[in-house]
């Protein structure tokens, strides 16, 4: 059945038929079924691609259903799941995932800080940023933008200014992502 769906999709493309979201969802499910048939869904690369693809195709719920079936994880897959859980608003699961990562990366921290902030947990996002700093990580433009956005959410003009001053000192004040966060921050905190 999976192969038939993929062959039909190829035929549609060759004949110039434009796919829609339903078509893509069916093809994605067919690929997942095909991977299951051959027993490769537990392969970390395949699992990471499936999770990432579900998330990017607007099906984060499918990624959330698939993830618990896995018994092996790497940091890349776990980082993807932090993003997926945050996208779905399932913050407690995202927190459990980040707590399970033995060697958190900058991406792990940035994903969690951003996810907390976007889901209405600004205090927790700032606490996560504080923990991130105590662990010796150096902020990047994405960390900075997330925390400045969090400051905008809680109208913390003073903290936002301190972060911006730090950004200037460590040469992170330029760039689209930081500039956008700063404009939003100053508009909300006047």
pLDDT at residue 85, as a whole number: 92
Domain ranges of the chain: 104-190
**1 has pLDDT over 70:** no
If you average pLDDT over residues 37-45, what whole number do you get?
79
The alpha helices in 89-138, defined as continuous H runs, are 91-100, 106-118, 122-134
Q: How far apart are CA 20 and CA 18, in angstroms?
A: 7
HSE (side-chain half, CA atoms, 13 Å) at 113: 28
Give CA–CA dist 150/155, Å, rounded.
Answer: 8
Q: Summarize pLDDT for 125-178 with one digit per residue, the tens.
A: 999 999 998 988 888 999 999 999 999 999 999 999 999 998 899 898 888 999
pLDDT tens per residue, range 56-110: 777 788 888 888 888 788 888 899 999 999 988 999 999 999 999 988 999 999 9
What are the backbone dihedrals phi and psi of residue 19, each rounded to the nearest 5 degrees, phi first? Answer: -80, 155
């Amino acid at each position: 059945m999976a192969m038939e769906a993929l062959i039909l999709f190829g035929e549609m493309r060759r004949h110039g038929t434009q796919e829609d979201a339903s078509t893509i969802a069916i093809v994605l499910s067919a690929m997942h079924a095909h991977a299951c048939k051959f027993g490769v869904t537990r392969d970390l690369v395949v699992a990471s691609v499936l999770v990432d693809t579900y998330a990017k195709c607007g099906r984060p719920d499918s990624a959330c259903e698939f993830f618990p079936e896995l018994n092996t994880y790497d940091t890349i897959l776990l980082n993807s799941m932090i993003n997926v859980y945050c996208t779905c608003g399932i913050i407690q699961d995202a927190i459990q995932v980040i707590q399970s990562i033995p060697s958190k990366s900058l991406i792990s921290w940035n994903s969690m800080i951003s996810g907390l902030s976007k889901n209405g947990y600004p205090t927790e996002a700032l606490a996560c940023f504080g923990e991130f700093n105590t662990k010796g990580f150096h902020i990047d433009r994405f960390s900075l933008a997330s925390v400045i956005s969090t400051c905008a959410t809680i109208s913390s003009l003073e903290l936002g200014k301190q972060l911006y001053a730090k950004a200037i000192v460590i040469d992170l004040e330029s760039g689209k992502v930081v500039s956008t966060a700063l404009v939003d921050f100053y508009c909300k905190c006047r």
